[in-house]
């Protein structure tokens, strides 16, 4: 019989994408972000978790799924387009098998990808294209704990109206219940953005815990004696878990994190950019804009030009993922043994990551998780995988403190989302929040059908305007034109809807078109914004 573990590891995966749905276009470039994530991250994670569960391995992982992501994954149009995307990958694999048949090394890789995408397509069809339902079954079986996120990833520190701040949380919880059949026990605050008062809203909603970056706990008042090795409770009774820096650094560090290993697959080298357009044309943008296809034949190699990258070997990369899983677990074991000898309670290491790191950015990431949970189960007895709810049930007594206002990201204090590149957003957002609260309060007793529909749609446009993704994109300089256009479009749509409500003259055809395009949260009731 194994001895009792000395401490716990809570692995947290944050799955989120902004709302990307453009039915007005047959093909939209940014919609590809969703399909890439399905093929590279969500399906591979589902596959790994299902295999672990079937194998009797103790799987405990916490996974947030944002309401915008859940809405997209359940949308009929986007599911149809995702299925077509997987079909194209399989067809590209067939074409690559023909193209590389005289080059044994490339042919082996083409066959590897062809088999992979056929397998993932089969899994997608087996789940009827309903990825949230697949994760719901894993939660029902006790393997995964699903938690929610702010409705549209609205960054709490930049939302001034209390009713608008609470609406992001309440709508999120209701969408989660609709998708997963239960009220969420925890929440991933967007960008881990915390300001005092958020915990009170969470307590009123019955949400038991949330996460902050390391300094949110370490700088709490009074200062917690165990740092992030134990959760704290706020005065409202909600638990706060802080990110462990050491385990994060081993995965995230640009200098010595695991994904930068020379044997792992290189993200940037892709046949979508390497092959002539007359060969790759049917599998990229119809206008000839090159995109990533997922067929990547080269490995990281080192800090060399893309043209100097060496060929990828999946078998060697898989072995390295096993090595890294063992290294990660060994380090966590040493960390927990050290903490356990200095604490009067069970320590917990909270290791949160963007889910899209696993598979999309770090191709071998899902394999790493597979090896990690198998090693946790079979190879040691010091560290136990757990979830926050499970940990709190077993360790209900913790210190009470007020977390420090904080975020994650560069600087740790909201600087990424409030910056000279993006701060122009907030004058539009704050005016819209105040107007939404005012109109909802004026119509709190109900409104004629058409007015009510317009107010519901105004709430959707405000929620989409609040998405922190637009500020992040503007700060990082990636797809700035798209982000700016989304902010301006949602602000303009919101203002026109409100003007029409106040004039009691609704353009029903235009409203119906908006309801068709920005169709998230069909059960939304604008009165959630009433004071």
Tell me the per-residue pLDDT of 334-354, one tens digit each, with 9 for 90 and over: 999 999 999 999 999 999 999
Query: How many Å separate Cα 303 from the centre of its chain?
Result: 29
What are the percentages of helix, strand and coil residues in the chain, rounded to 5? 55, 10, 35
Per-residue pLDDT, 447: 85
> Checking phi first, is residue 384 left (phi over 0); if not, alpha (psi -120 to 50) or beta?
beta
State residue 141's pLDDT score.
97
CB-based contact 311:298 (threshold 8 Å): yes
Q: Does 254 score more than 80 pLDDT?
A: no
Q: How far is CA 365 from CA 42, 46, 116, 147, 319, in A?
A: 12, 13, 15, 21, 12
Cβ 77 vs Cβ 23: under 8 Å = yes
Percent of the chain with pLDDT over 90: 96
Active site residue 255: no
| Share of residues in the chain with pLDDT > 70 (%) | 99
Best CA proximity match to 66, nearest among 161, 157, 132: 132
If you compute the radius of gyration of the chain from its CA atoms, what whole number of angstroms results? 24
Residues 500-529 have a mean pLDDT of 97
Bridging pattern class, strands 186-188 and 144-149: parallel
Rounded Cα distance between 176 and 111, Å, is: 39
Task: Name the residue among 375, 394, 396 with its Cα closest to residue 386.
Answer: 394
pLDDT at 379: 95
Measured CA to CA in angstroms, residue 182 lies from 34, 67, 285 at distances of: 25, 14, 40
**CA-CA distance, 523 to 511, in Å (whole number)?**
16
Taking the domains of the chain in order of start, what are their residue ranges?
425-529
On whether the CB atoms of residues 493 and 454 are closer than 8 A, the answer is no
Residue 289: CB partners within 8 Å, gap ≥ 6? 29
Q: Phi and psi at residue 282, in whole multiples of 5°?
A: -65, -10
Question: Per-residue pLDDT tens for 354-373?
Answer: 999 999 999 999 999 999 99
Q: What is the pLDDT of residues 281-301, one digit of tens each?
A: 999 988 889 999 999 999 999
Which superfamily does CATH assign the domain made up of 425-529 to? Answer: Families 57/38 glycoside transferase, middle domain (1.20.1430.10)
For residues 349 and 335, give the distance between their C-alpha atoms in angstroms, rounded to a whole number. 9
Exposed, middle or buried, 32 (CB in 10 Å: 0-12/13-18/19+)? middle
Q: How far apart are CA 145 and CA 390, in angstroms?
A: 9
pLDDT at 531: 84
| Contact in structure between 168 and 464 (CB atoms under 8 Å) | no
Residue-wise pLDDT tens digits, 117-150: 999 999 999 999 999 999 999 999 999 999 999 9
CA distance 460 to 436: 11
Q: Which of 200, 313, 354, 438 is an active site residue?
A: 354
pLDDT, position 287:
82
Task: Determine the average pLDDT of the residues in 27-39.
Answer: 95
DSSP codes joined into one string, 253-274? -TTT-GGG-TTSBPSS--HHHH
pLDDT at residue 317 in the model:
98
**E-strand stretches of 66-156:** 144-149
What mean pLDDT, rounded, does the chain reach? 97
Strands (E), 279-387: 348-354, 383-385
List the one residue out of 202, 239, 229, 279 whose CA is nearest residue 8. 229
* Lowest mean pLDDT, pick from 258-267, 444-453, 460-469, 513-522: 444-453
Report, as an integer, the average pLDDT of 72-98. 98
Q: What is the mean pLDDT of residues 211-233?
A: 98
| Active-site option among 36, 75, 174, 191 | 191
For residue 1, pLDDT over 70 is answered with: no
Q: Which residue has the tokens 């696993």?
A: 358
pLDDT band at 244 (very low <50, low <70, confident <90, very high): very high
Angle subtended at Cα 477 by Cα 476 and Cα 483, rounded to the nearest 5 degrees: 100
Q: Crossing angle of helices 76-99/104-126, nearest 10°?
A: 160
β-bridge partners, 385: 9
Cα gap 437→526, rounded to integer Å: 9
Query: Residues with Cβ < 8 Å from 163, sequence gap 6 or more?
Result: 437, 440, 529, 530, 531
Contact 514, 495 (CB under 8 A): no
In angstroms, what CA-CA distances link 291 with 286, 308, 355, 484? 11, 21, 21, 21
Q: Is 191 a catalytic residue?
A: yes
- Structure-block tokens of residue 270: 């892709």
Helices and strands in the chain: count of H runs, count of E runs: 20, 9
HEC profile of 188-202 = ECHHHCECCCHHHHH
* Segment 293-311 mean pLDDT: 96
Q: Under 8 Å CB-to-CB from 320, ≥6 apart: which residues?
A: 261, 263, 264, 364
């Amino acid at each position: 019989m194994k001895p009792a573990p000395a401490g716990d590891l809570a692995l947290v995966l944050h799955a989120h994408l902004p709302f990307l749905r453009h039915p007005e276009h047959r093909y939209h470039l940014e919609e590809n972000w969703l399909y890439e994530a399905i093929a590279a991250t969500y399906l591979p994670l589902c596959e790994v978790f299902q295999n672990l569960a079937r194998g009797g391995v103790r799987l405990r992982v916490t996974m947030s799924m944002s309401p915008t992501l859940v809405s997209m994954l359940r949308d009929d149009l986007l599911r149809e387009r995702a299925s077509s995307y997987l079909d194209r990958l399989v067809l590209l694999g067939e074409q690559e098998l023909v193209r590389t048949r005289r080059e044994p090394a490339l042919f082996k890789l083409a066959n590897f990808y062809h088999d992979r995408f056929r397998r993932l397509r089969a899994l997608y069809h087996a789940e009827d294209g309903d990825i949230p339902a697949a994760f719901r079954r894993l939660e029902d079986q006790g393997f995964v704990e699903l938690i929610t996120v702010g409705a549209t990833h609205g960054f709490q520190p930049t939302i001034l109206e209390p009713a608008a701040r609470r609406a992001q949380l309440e709508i999120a919880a209701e969408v989660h219940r609709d998708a997963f059949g239960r009220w969420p026990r925890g929440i991933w605050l967007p960008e881990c953005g915390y300001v005092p008062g958020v915990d009170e809203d969470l307590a009123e909603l019955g949400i038991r815990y949330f996460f902050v970056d390391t300094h949110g706990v370490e700088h709490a008042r009074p200062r917690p004696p165990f740092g992030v090795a134990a959760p704290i409770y706020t005065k409202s009774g909600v638990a706060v878990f802080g990110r462990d820096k050491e385990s994060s650094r081993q995965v995230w560090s640009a200098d010595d994190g695991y994904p930068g290993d020379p044997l792992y697959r290189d993200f940037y080298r892709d046949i979508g950019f390497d092959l002539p357009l007359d060969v790759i044309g049917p599998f990229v943008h119809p206008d000839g804009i090159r995109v990533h296809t997922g067929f990547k034949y080269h490995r990281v190699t080192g800090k060399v030009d893309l043209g100097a990258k060496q060929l990828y070997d999946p078998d060697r990369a898989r072995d390295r993922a096993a090595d890294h899983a063992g290294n990660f677990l060994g380090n966590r074991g040493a960390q927990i043994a050290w903490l356990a000898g200095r604490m009067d309670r069970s320590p917990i290491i909270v290791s949160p990551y963007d889910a899209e790191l696993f598979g999309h950015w770090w191709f071998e990431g899902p394999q790493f998780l597979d090896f990690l949970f198998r090693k946790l189960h079979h190879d040691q007895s010091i560290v136990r995988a757990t979830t926050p709810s499970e940990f709190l049930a077993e360790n209900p007594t913790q210190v009470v403190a007020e977390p420090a206002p904080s975020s994650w990201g560069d600087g740790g204090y909201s600087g990424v989302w409030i910056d000279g590149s993006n701060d122009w957003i907030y004058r539009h957002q704050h005016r819209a929040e105040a107007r939404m609260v005012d109109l909802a309060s004026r119509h709190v007793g109900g409104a004629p059908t058409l007015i009510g529909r317009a107010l519901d749609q105004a709430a959707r446009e405000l929620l989409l305007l609040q998405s922190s993704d637009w500020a992040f994109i503007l700060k990082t300089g990636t797809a700035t034109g798209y982000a700016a256009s989304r902010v301006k479009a949602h602000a303009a749509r919101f203002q026109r809807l409100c003007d029409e409500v106040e004039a009691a003259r609704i353009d029903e055809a235009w409203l119906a078109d908006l309801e068709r395009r920005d169709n998230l949260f069909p059960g939304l009731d604008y009165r959630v914004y009433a004071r």
